[in-house]
Structure 1
Amino acid sequence: MLDSDVSNPIKEEAALCNDQSDCSINPLKDEIQGKDTPTPNTEMYNCSECQKHFRTKAGLLKHEKTHTGIKPFVCSVCEKRFAWYSDLIVHQRSHTGEKPFSCSECGRCFSYPSDLNRHYRIHTGEKPCTCSQCGKHFTSHSDLVVHRRSHRVERLFSCFECGKQFKHHSQLTVHKRIHTGEALYSCSECGKDFKERSTLSVHLRTHTGEKPFPCSHCEKSFARRSDLDRHLSVHRTERPFPCSQCGKHFACISDLNVHHRSHIDERPFRCSECGKCFKKNSHLTVHERIHTGEKPFSCSECGKSFTERSSLNVHQTIHTGEKPFSCSECGKCFSNRAGLRIHKKFHTGEKPFSCTECEKSFTYRSHLTVHLRVHTGEKPYTCTECGKGFTRRSHLNVHLRFHTGEKPFTCPECGKCFAHRFQLTAHSHSHT
């Protein structure tokens, strides 16, 4: 009796999709031919909440769920919720890596037909979407929609603090938290606060180690979809985005944009504490932990914490003794690939990174970065106990032992502990 009174959302959606008059079988054609305003003879479906117009009943019903907030379909991997079952099916491809749509020109595969349609225009050069204001052409309707905003002057929602204007009230709500310092979502593990639930969800993966986005090519997994997308470029043979400066090709436009900064030395991400600028937001995030002292990556063996997961991975090889990377020249083994890469340059004698002040050369860029502090006097690593500054993090770590009394180097013969490795080495001679 009760079952008959409860609507089945899957059947409801299927019924909508069976209405052939409302469903398109050619999304690319619809995208190209779609207009913001209907033709006079087109029947429109209006939302009773916000009066927005839709050409199809299915479009209206899907939109109405944005007002009700009903999202009955849940992803079993990341627990993200969706209003429609079809949206859930599409979303699940981000976890499975399924790419059923392939380009007939180059063989590249895509998870969504809309992505394939947009990609195909790289080969054809087609730009079917034209701005009625300035005549500029675009490859996709979404790019045109974004461009049209540059012609609009109306901004409905204004911030009383700084006067910045927004088209959507939700954008204003999030923006206001910059002024109030309001953080609605706190991490139960480390207490760090976040203004958005989605940001907290991603952060929690640093504690749980969860990596819900697997690579379908090499079984490597990632905590964020954006990290997976960047990684996939390693497997792609197609690199359709060339740099106009040096001719180097890239698999995705985001990699090309980052590369462009190497020519103009653009560093758009600035630290609010010390003013240092970075080319990537991820580099800024890691740098900010110098000031906050945050170390979200902990070793399960000894409890030692690190600011970066890569540092934790290197540290853990101390416990396992694993050194899987060997030099083909001399056979020396290393616990990480970066160590092997640096070592190989000692065989070639290559030192491609030169100091502009004294012309000293280095095999690795990071060594040059540290060296430059000799000329600039920069000491970015500060002791929170006494305020003393250091040019290297390792020097700060050694210094901190004076405050903590930590003695991490133990003699295997007598058990005596030392604060520095050289002290242990000198002591070891007393046993021989």
Structure 2
Amino acid sequence: MLVVLIGGALVWFFVGPMWGLSTALVGMIGLIVIQLSYLLRLGDWLDNPTSVRLPDGWGAWTEIFSRLYRLRRGDEKNQAELAEWLARFRQAMTLLPDGVVIMDDVLFLEWCNPAAEKHLGLSLSKDKGMRVTNLVRSPEFMDYIILGRYETPLTLAFRDRKLIVHIIPFENRRQILVTHDITESERIDMMRRDFIANASHELRTPLTVINGFLEIASMEPNLDAQTRLSHLKLMTEQGERMQRLVEDMLTLTRLESMDHPIRPEAVNMRVLLDKILQEAHALSAGRHEITLEFDGPDILGSTDEIRSALINLVTNAIRYTPEKGTIKLIWKNYATGPKFIVQDNGIGISAEHISRLTERFYRVDKSRSRETQGTGLGLAIVKHVLLRHKANLAVESTPEVGSKFCVQFPITAIAPVEA
């Protein structure tokens, strides 16, 4: 403005007052137009403030736009950092095994991670903005919300799962709902309790027999020799049964332990199966026709563990096949890998029992199992040995017709042939 006034004064002095005033007026109008144009550009930039679109300035506007640029660059940097931290947070929440649901103060869903979607049946894309109590329909959950005693977690059975649910208020208008799935731990705990109960029951029976005979011997020291020998024989049988049970439990414990990894070795299957065949004939004592068909390779694995698994299958076939029955042992290589098959024409197994055969202490016929000196852990040992060798067990059986147990080893288990 000072420059315009000085210019107008000079024109006034040299040309005349009319020209001087006209020059000053045109100059002032030009200044106003320039200022208005910059104000218009500033307003347009404020509608979408990015550092790339910031206009250049003239005069005092240079400093203004320079300061705005520095402020905007700082804001963009902070936003980028916040966006990065938010992305990391969401990624971390996505990988959490526990469910996390963020709600407002009236329980409307704002965000949840995949674990929460799985636990509670939510869908962030569909359910966002909806009330969580309308999505999780459970009387126990509603009571927990209404009572508002959030200091104590809620144990909730929901959608075939058992969850621990905990609501944590934070900020003034938000709450976090955390869910922890304890279904598997409850199942494992139930298995542990069942195992202890079954093991105690199995051990109690032989101990009761042994203690009973010892009590009789102490109260009646003058028993005849035949009765005494009969009692000693029964006590010996029960002691051996208890020893087998303890050995099987220790074997299972070792198989499940991470401290005992497999040390693969080349297993000579011809030698191993010949020994198993000899043991099978000894156990059968001529009551069954047992044959071996061998047409397969050697494999890599633990000789002792594989022997334990295969002999358990053969022993079961002998125990549950009536006298004069036939048992076929087959070791053959297939396109899917080597396979060991035990086929008998014994009493067979009903379909409803097949899926539970490898459970600990599970018996299809408890009385027959005890008569044949079974511990109820043989097929559980087979299952764990095969898991360690990446093999699997398939069972086909028809009552009164017979059973077929197939152990499928992977192709990678075949031992390389030495040159």
Instruction: Return the structure number with greater relative CO, CA threshold 8 A, min gap 6.
Output: 2
Question: Would you tell me which structure has more helix in proportion to its own residues?
Answer: 2
Considering the TM-score relative to the shorter chain, is it more than 0.5? no
Question: Would you tell me which structure has more strand in proportion to its own residues?
Answer: 2
TM-score after normalising by structure 2: 0.16
TM-score after normalising by structure 1: 0.16
